[in-house]
Structures are given as structure tokens and as C-alpha cells.
């Protein structure tokens, strides 16, 4: 596999504009109402520029998805560097609920456009799971979180929260699930051994 050649500054700007506009349109849920060529006009670039960077809607969706995952992983790293481990984990998980709530349209659009791109979704899922693993491991090392809970259980809770997004009291219930997860992760003092 060869490394992609770096883009010229103007080409990188055009690519960034396309991704930012796609994220905005995906989030609003309006992408399927647009012809792909019309999206280029909406983004302020020519159709040739659009197709040069993203030959299909799915390629554009994949770029948006990878950008979302990268931003979430970067947030996890920044929190880990700035806060005590248990607080970083809690802040990240509560932030995931905020992210899910704020970007429901984006999630639905990406799920539809990326239905046949399971490899890209799996890669993004692994990156996000690694970010949660790192946060969890740091909290285990500092003794604030149990060492017998697998990252998979935390990820399953996040997936469940996301999948239940259409429930009437979703936001309050999602916050409650995160509270349950964090409470369940908290290391308890052994009452039988008072040392």
C-alpha cells in the first residue's frame, strides 16, 4: 500500500470545505434530497472538484465518518491528558451522549450511506473502542475503576444508547445509563478487609 500524495493547499481547502458542508447537510438530514452535482454548488465548488475528491456519495460519507471518529478519539486523548483518569472517562462518556443527541441526523445519514462499507465502519469502531480502552485503563491504573470490566461492556452501553435514540425520554434515560455504567465501574472498598 502506498501513502497518498499530500494535497496542494488549495486542494486540501476544497476537500475540507466539502467535508464540512457534507457534515452540515448530513446532520440536517437533507442530503438525500440533493442531487450529488447540486451538493457541489451548495459547497461552493465545481462538480469536477467534487468528483476529484469524492467520486460517490459513499466516498464522501466515509470521509465524514472518519473525521467524526478522529475528532472523538482526539477528544478522548485531550481529556486523558487534562483530567484525572476517572473524570476523563466520565466526561468522555457523557460527551458521547451529547454528541449522539446533537448529531442524530448525521448518524442516520452515515448509517444509510455506509451500509455497504462495513470495513470502514469496523475500522472506525476499533479506533473509538481503543480510545475508550485507553481511558478505562488509565482509571484502572489509578485505582478508581474496577479492573474486571471489559471495554466491550462500555461500548455495548454506548451502542444501546445510540440505538434507542427515538425513545420519547431518550436523553434522560441515556444520562441515567451513563450514570449506571460509571457507578458500576467505580472501584468499591472491600468491607470485609478494612485496611
State the pLDDT confidence band at 175, using cuts at 50, 70 and 90: very high
The DSSP bridge partners found for residue 186 are 145
Domains and CATH numbers, the chain: 1-55 (1.10.10.60), 61-185 (1.10.357.10)
pTM comes to: 0.83
Closest by alpha carbon to 132, among 173, 182, 166, 194? 182
Closest by alpha carbon to 49, among 12, 74, 89, 80? 12
pLDDT tens readout for residues 41-56: 888 998 999 999 999 8
Tell me if 124 sits within 8 A of 65, measured CB to CB.
Answer: yes
- Who wins on pLDDT, 71 or 57? 71
Burial group, residue 25, by CB count within 10 angstroms (0-12, 13-18, 19+):
buried
pLDDT tens readout for residues 31-44: 777 788 888 888 89
Amino acid at each position: 500500500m502506498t501513502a497518498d500524495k499530500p494535497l496542494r493547499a488549495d486542494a486540501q481547502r476544497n476537500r475540507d470545505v466539502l467535508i464540512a458542508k457534507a457534515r452540515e447537510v448530513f446532520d440536517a438530514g437533507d442530503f438525500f434530497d440533493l442531487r450529488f452535482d447540486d451538493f457541489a454548488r451548495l459547497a461552493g465548488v465545481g462538480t469536477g472538484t467534487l468528483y476529484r475528491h469524492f467520486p460517490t456519495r459513499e466516498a464522501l460519507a466515509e470521509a465524514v465518518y472518519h473525521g467524526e471518529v478522529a475528532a472523538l478519539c482526539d477528544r478522548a486523548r485531550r481529556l486523558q491528558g487534562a483530567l484525572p483518569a476517572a473524570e476523563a472517562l466520565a466526561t468522555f462518556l457523557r460527551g458521547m451522549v451529547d454528541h449522539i443527541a446533537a448529531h442524530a441526523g448525521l448518524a442516520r445519514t452515515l448509517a444509510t450511506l455506509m451500509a455497504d462499507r462495513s470495513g470502514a465502519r469496523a475500522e472506525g469502531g476499533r479506533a473509538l473502542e481503543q480510545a475508550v480502552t485507553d481511558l478505562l485503563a488509565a482509571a484502572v491504573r489509578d485505582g478508581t475503576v474496577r479492573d474486571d470490566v471489559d471495554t466491550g461492556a462500555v461500548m455495548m452501553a454506548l451502542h444501546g444508547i445510540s440505538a434507542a435514540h427515538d425513545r420519547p425520554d431518550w436523553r434522560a434515560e441515556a444520562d441515567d445509563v451513563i450514570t449506571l455504567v460509571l457507578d458500576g465501574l467505580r472501584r468499591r472498598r472491600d468491607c470485609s478487609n478494612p485496611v
